Amino acid sequence: MPRITFTPHLRKHLRCDDQVVAGGTVREILDVLFAANPPLRGYLVDDRGRLRQHVAIFVGSTMIADRILQSDPVPDGGEVYIFQALSGG
């Protein structure tokens, strides 16, 4: 099963411990996380289920390509990193 890691910054705002969850796609993993921690949903996705602009998710070292459906595959035993993206200049 994939290991999910949240940045310390997200942990300041939400209860989101690193964990191992079942799922073959980013969306399946997010659904498991949201079922266990409903406030996480509103922070990571909008009301249509699209990944919010200020959130970045990587599978291994690759940022996910599908921010709308989060259909990117996650290998068994893979690493998923969820963090707040920074912007500005």
What confidence tens digit (pLDDT) does each residue in 56-66 have?
999 999 999 99
**Token pair for 11:** 């942990």
Residues 6+ positions from 61 with CB-CB distance below 8 Å: none
Average pLDDT for residues 71-86, to the nearest whole number? 93
Beta carbons within 8 Å of 87's beta carbon, 6+ residues apart: 54
Distance CA 83, CA 9 (A): 8
CATH numbers and ranges of domains, the chain = 3-84 (3.10.20.30)
Segment 77-89 shows an average pLDDT of: 83
pLDDT of residue 87: 64
**Rounded to two decimals, what is the model's pTM?**
0.91
pLDDT at 71: 98
pLDDT in tens, 10-56: 888 888 899 999 999 999 999 999 999 999 999 999 999 999 999 99
